[in-house]
Structure 1
Amino acid sequence: MTGIGVVAPNSSGLERFWEAVLEGRQGIGRVSRFDVSGYPAVLAGEISDLDPAEYLPARLLPQTDVSTRLALVAGEWALADAKIDPDTLIGYEMGVVTANAAGGFEFTHREFRKLWTQGSKAVSVYESFAWFYAVNTGQLSIRHGMRGPSSALVAEQAGGLDALGHARRTVIAGTPLILAGGVDSALDPWGWSAHISGGRISRATNPDRGYLPFGIEAAGHVPGEGGAILVLEAADRAEARGAQNIYGEIAGYASTFDPPPRSARPPGLRRAAELALADAGMEPGEVDVVFADAAGVPELDRAEAEAIRGLFGREGVPVTAPKARYGRLLAGGGPLDVTTALLSLRDDLIPSAPVTSVPSEYGIDLVCGQSRAAAVGSALVLARGRWGFNAAVVVRKAPVVNKEGR
């Protein structure tokens, strides 16, 4: 992974985001885009420090939903961070793999309103694709001339890790460079109603107490918007071009699916972690930190804690959930957790979660309050999507790939 672009509620831009994470800066607040006074939930992680119109051509704005605009900005930043100019490369040697859980929610709901109130002639012609789950992959590939193997995946919160895993597979199969990750946004009134209907949203009004995964007071999560786009390259290509930023490598990936409700079989999260470690050729004892899915719902937190404890032993590995300060970002959550893990590897720091008390029966070493200095050579990132999706990615420090030692 040689380039990263971040758009997040606590701060956008890679280094600004990392600074916000380490400072424990709050990215959650009361929804500001519409009146939520009549709703049972009022907190979200909104991006307020970024106007995509400042970075994108004006012609793209009428064609795109807010999620696609954010993805395009993140993609631009990732390529700039990797110091790659796509115009100098062969289009068929570059591809795009993204995940999306909601599609162009705000765009399509605006056009539906026009249809109902003004008639079909008022509906934008761009509605034909702006709503679609694959639109971020499509717009990124068009904008950067990336004509190689490309995909779009849908697995809710787990989808972003699936996108990175599939991108890795595509590079291994022979495509030298893939732009991959996930960005989501569903914070319009219709999207907000959809979030609430899922039954897992926090009803808190205090941003500092809204999302407390693994905490005794956990009572749901806070949704957010944003995510991350990363540049994945074959190691030999990165070496040949003298890549300056080598954040790490995806050493292992796996996905599983939960059994049906009321099944006697266990959930699939631990199995996903085991398969990802096996794919990386690693034992549990070689993992330095786990970035948890961190649902914030007691029964789901309990199940994840059981999976972590069963794999690593009681308090056998530090666990963290920095997303508790900016929200669950649907398909954007996994890539942003991978980004945070890579920065932990780079700086030997494990960020914290804003939780003060963890039930003793969970048996996990949750990093709380302040960031923790530690030698971090590898990390396991976990994600679960609604309806049974599980995904796990192992990242670790990459070997030096060029003569300058960068």
Structure 2
Amino acid sequence: MRDRFGVTGLGVVAPNGATTEEYWAATLSGRSGIGPITRFDPASYPVRLAGEVRGFTARDHLPSRITTQTDHWTHMGLVAADNALVDAGVSPASLPEYEMTVVTASSSGGTEFGQKEMTGLWGKGSDHVGAYQSIAWFYAASTGQISIRNGMRGPCAAIATEQAGGLDAVGQARRMMRSGARLALVGGTDASLCPYGLVAQLSSRGLSKRHDPARAYVPFDTEACGYVPGEGGAMFVVEKDPAPSRPTYGHIAGYAATFDPPVERNRPPTLARAITLALADAGARPDEIDVVFADAMGLPSADRMEAEALVSIFGHHKVPVTAPKTMTGRLYAGGAALDVATALLSMRDGVIPPTVGTTDPVRSLGLDLVLGQPRERPVRTALVVARGFGGFNAALVLVE
């Protein structure tokens, strides 16, 4: 008999909604959180748009001691984790501390905190660099802070595989739960919307330089030109073999990851293999998948590569495909985690959220894109796909 890993709680912090239900309502209505960058003056940068979580103030949710020691990315992870625990009705203090695990994903760490400290160093001297610089920037800071805050002392981890990280974190948490943990807080957030962070992202050459929020990020479109960066993400409470009476959003049924070799090796991409392995891990056939949440990079070559992988497994126009991240931007490690939350909400409510912005899809890609409006239909099994810069691929299958 297969182990059952049920998701019993969700916490979302996203550009178009700072709570789970705010995000879900905005997503179903097609309301985007993408707009002009306001966290700093972007006039001297080629990228002017981002998915910012406006109205989020960490001190409204967290003690000042924590907010001064940690980065904005960790603030959002802590709040999302708190909300997931409340949603699940879980009190960590009532559970054995060594049977709870925390796994988070991050692609950039605390860049905003690091920039502030480096500005102090070069502008005023070493006396103006705080002690917390040594930990606040680190990829594992969110995992550490969440585990300390909730007394979770089981095996913990931090994943750094860029956009694929949100799925890889779930896969790692499942391995830990198979080794003895009974509950996991898992997911990912990212927040790199500061000058230093934006410059680092420009090196990928994937960012959209369009200034129209409605057309800056249009994956699978004839005018696709890259993606918009964003911040935020999601956290989940996952429990091993939850009681039948315990409400769940869905279950983690299958996961797989692959890695693409460098282009100069002239070897084929491996996204299709990741999907095939995840389906096999779940014991699911392609015709049992009710929706695919696409990676949707927004670059013509990357979109075609993803479409070819999906069509090779599901056939032309055989499964609905959606990319609600067009309303948030790509959140890097938080992006796939947010897609998982969205897929679970789709399963709960029997509706597939739309891809917005994309108005002229490339017909030759062969995808049944959910465009403009939500599509109401039962969602019993969902596939989430993610790719990280540098060759990371991951696929996750969720079932009722």
Q: 1:49 aligns with which of 44, 49, 55?
A: 55
Q: 1:155 aligns with which of 150, 161, 167?
A: 161
Deviation at 1:283, TM superposition (A): 0.9
Partner in structure 1 of residue 375 of structure 2: 372
Aligned to 2:394: 391
- Kept in 2, the 8 Å contact 1:105–1:186? The answer is yes
Shift of 1:171: 1.4
Alignment-derived partner of residue 39 in structure 2: 33
Cα drift, residue 58 of structure 1? 1.3
* Mapped contact 1:87–1:144 kept (Cα < 8 A): yes
Once the 2 structures are TM-superposed, how far is the Cα of residue 337 of structure 1 from its aligned partner?
0.2
- Contact 2:74/2:142 (<8 A) preserved: yes
- Equivalence map 1:166-185=2 (5 Å): 166-185=172-191
Q: Which runs of 5+ in 1 are unaligned?
A: 398-406
Q: Which residue of 2 aligns with 1:195?
A: 201
Residue in 2 that maps onto 1:293: 295
C-alpha separation in 1, matches of 2:392 and 2:202: 20
How many Å separate the matches in 2 of 1:2 and 1:361?
Answer: 40
CA contact (8 A) 1:11 1:49 kept: no
Q: In structure 2, how many angstroms separate the alpha carbons of the residues matched to 1:370 and 1:276?
A: 29
Separation in structure 2 between the aligned mates of residue 85 and residue 49 of structure 1, nearest angstrom: 28
Matched, 1:63 2:69: yes
SS in 1 for 2:243: helix
Of stretches 112-121 and 136-145 in structure 1, the one that deviates more from structure 2 is 112-121
1:80 is displaced (CA, Å) by: 0.4
Percent identity (aligned):
53
Give the superposition deviation at 1:178. Answer: 0.6
Shift of 1:87: 1.4
SS at structure 2 position matched to 1:179: strand
Q: 1:353 aligns with which of 331, 352, 355?
A: 355
Match of 1:231 in 2: 237
Structure 1, residues 248-286: CA drift from partner, whole Å, max 9, x if none?
A: 001000000002213342111110000000000111111
Q: How do residues 294-313 of structure 1 correspond to structure 2 at under 5 angstroms?
A: 294-313=296-315
The answer for the alignment partner of 2:343 in structure 1 is 341
Runs in 1 of length 4+ with deviation above 2 angstroms?
A: 262-265
Cα distance in 1 for partners of 2:121, 2:149 equals 29
Conservation of the 8 A alpha-carbon contact between 1:157 and 1:334:
yes
Shift of 1:37: 1.1
Q: How far 1:197 sits from its partner (Å)?
A: 2.3
Q: Which amino acid aligns with 1:2?
A: T
* Distance in structure 1 (CA, Å) of the matches to 2:127 and 2:65: 21
The residue number in structure 1 matching 2:321 is 319
Give the superposed CA RMSD. 1.0
Query: Could you report, residue by residue, the CA deviation over 1:360-400 in whole angstroms, capped at 9, with x for unpaired residues?
Result: 21001010010001121100000000110000000010xxx
Q: Hey, what's the Cα distance between the residues in 2 that align with 1:66 and 1:14? A: 19
Distance 2:253 2:160 in 1: 23
Aligned-partner Cα distance in 2 for 1:337–1:296 = 16
- Aligned mate of 2:93, from 87, 95, 98: 87
The equivalent residue for 2:3 is none
* C-alpha distance in structure 2 between counterparts of 1:170 and 1:309, whole Å: 33
| Deviation per residue, 1:270-309 (Å, 9 max, x gap) | 1000000000011111101000000000000000000001
CA distance in 1, matches of 2:212, 2:42: 15
Q: Which residue of 2 aligns with 1:216?
A: 222
Q: Which runs of 5+ in 2 are unaligned?
A: 1-6
Partner in structure 2 of residue 279 of structure 1: 281
TM-score scaled by structure 2? 0.97
CA distance in 2, matches of 1:313, 1:259: 26
What CA distance in whole angstroms lies between the structure 1 residues aligned with 2:360 and 2:55? Answer: 32
Query: Residue 207 of structure 1 aligns to which amino acid in structure 2?
Result: P
Distance 2:147 2:72 in 1: 18
Could you tell me how far apart the structure 2 residues matched to 1:126 and 1:89 are?
30
2:4 corresponding residue in structure 1:
none
Residue-by-residue CA offset, 1:66-124 (whole Å, 9 max, x unaligned)? 00011010010000000111112211111100111001000011101111111111111
AA paired with 1:388?
Answer: G
Q: Relative to structure 2, which stretch is displaced further, 4-13 or 49-58?
A: 49-58
Cα deviations across residues 181-215 of structure 1 (Å, max 9, x unaligned)?
Answer: 00000000111111222211111111111100111
Q: Contact (CA 8 Å) 2:32, 2:326: kept in 1 or not?
A: no
CA contact (8 A) 1:171 1:232 kept: no
**Within the alignment, does 1:116 sit opposite 2:119 as a pair?**
no
Query: 1:239 is matched by which residue type in structure 2?
Result: A
Matched pairs, number: 393
Q: 1:235-274, aligned counterparts within 5 Å?
A: 235=241, 238-239=242-243, 242-243=245-246, 245-274=247-276
Deviation at 1:26, TM superposition (A): 1.1
